[in-house]
Amino acid sequence: MATSKRLTAGAISIVLVIVYSVIMMATDGAASWAWLILAAAIGSLVVAARSEKVAVSSERNRGGAVLGTTRPDHRGPREGVSGLSRRPVLADLRPIGGGGVRCPQERSWIAHPRDLPHWRPMSKGNYSTVLLDFDHTLLDSDTSEIEAYKLTLRNQGVADPMRYFDTYNRINMGLWAAAERGEILPKDVKTTRFELMADELGCGWDTDQMAEDFVVGFASYGDLYPGAIELLEALTGRVSLALISNGLSEVQRPRIARLGIEQYFDAIVISAEVGTTKPGRRIFDITFDLLGNPPKDAAVIVGDRLASDIRGGADYGISTCWYNPNGNTPGPDDIITHEIKSLAEVLPLAGL
């Protein structure tokens, strides 16, 4: 409205100056002065219009700026300007394609999810490659482990195996954490957990036999979580699908066969078979190679463990989906792209 008023006033001024110039030229021949005045009027009008445009642009920038530096187009930061001057407020951000976020008032990149821990976009994804963890994501491994543990200790003559379960669990979790850090091989966990347990409790158990009994029991017990088969059936043939598991081959292969799920996957990678574990990059390299090296920006890993699944995916440069049915709290450095409480929530990530 202000711009229209200025333009109208300028137009009237020009008309008056033209009339005045004609009169002057007809009476005293002072045309040169009239044309000088006319040029001055036109110049004033142009300056006023440009000033209004600059004022409007500045007003818009002030209204939406959450960054120290405004990037008005897709050409990236201006020369000599470094990235973010301060972290944008999460409420001001919305997800965009490619795994980044935009400020609603800005049109350019401002951050990647790794700059915004725990950011979880709610919109549909369009992932064409899905990596699935096995234990505690598709499979009820808690039931499987407890039943295998009971079988193992009963075979050693222990009437009440659960009285030692906390000791076993602490040792077992510690060894798997060491395997994830690359300090030991996954196959070393098989017997070492029972050797350490027997030493700590002062029991003369046959730890080699315990290791074998546990493998048999672990492979024989446990079912898929509700919705797991439905998820696999929906994803198969629509995305590149891989199973990527930190585990022992003697356990995971019989489980996969017993549950009849091998047919759903384009690749199955088990850490003990390839000599490396999540979160290391090598196991992801192997998986992507088996899948034909799909683009990373169209891939997501779904898993329950922050230390292996989520960290591994984030370090490898793919999106992450934390399966968190129990509502656990992530750590300050965990990079989570999506968080779900049920397996059915994976389908929208693949656009299904």
- Supply the pLDDT for residue 179: 87
Comparing 271 with 84, the larger pLDDT belongs to 271
| Cα–Cα distance for residue pair 136/305, rounded to 1 Å | 9
Q: What is the average pLDDT across 301-317?
A: 96
CB atoms inside a 10 Å sphere around CB 162: 12
- Supply the pLDDT for residue 191: 95
Q: Which residues contact 163 (CB under 8 A, 6 or more apart)?
A: none
pLDDT tier, 45 (very low <50, low <70, confident <90, very high otherwise):
low
CB atoms inside a 10 Å sphere around CB 295: 10
Comparing 118 with 103, the larger pLDDT belongs to 118
Contact 73, 108 (CB under 8 A): yes
CB atoms inside a 10 Å sphere around CB 236: 13
pLDDT at position 88 over 70: no
pLDDT at position 48 over 80: no
Strands 267-270 and 240-245: parallel
- Supply the pLDDT for residue 19: 52
pLDDT at position 133 over 90: yes
Least confidently predicted of 30-44, 95-109, 206-220, 263-277: 95-109
pLDDT at position 257 over 70: yes
Q: What is the mean pLDDT of the chain?
A: 77
| Cα–Cα distance for residue pair 149/265, rounded to 1 Å | 29
Number of helices (H), then strands (E), belonging to the chain: the values are: 11, 8
- Supply the pLDDT for residue 25: 52
- Supply the pLDDT for residue 99: 40
Comparing 52 with 61, the larger pLDDT belongs to 52
* Token pair belonging to 82: 């470094």
Share of the chain above pLDDT 70, in %: 64
| Cα–Cα distance for residue pair 128/118, rounded to 1 Å | 23
Q: What is the average pLDDT across 45-64?
A: 44
For 235-253, write each residue's pLDDT tens digit. 999 999 999 999 989 999 9
For 278-296, write each residue's pLDDT tens digit. 999 999 999 999 999 999 9
277, with CB counted inside 10 A (0-12, 13-18, 19+), is buried
Q: Which amino acid is at 2?
A: A
DSSP-assigned beta bridge partners for residue 139: 135, 224
Buried b vs exposed e over 8-36: b needs ≥16 C-beta within 10 Å? eebeebeeebeeebeebeeeeeeeeebee
pLDDT at position 110 over 60: no
Q: Which residues contact 46 (CB under 8 A, 6 or more apart)?
A: none
Q: What is the average pLDDT across 205-222?
A: 94
Least confidently predicted of 9-13, 107-111, 187-191: 107-111
- Supply the pLDDT for residue 21: 52
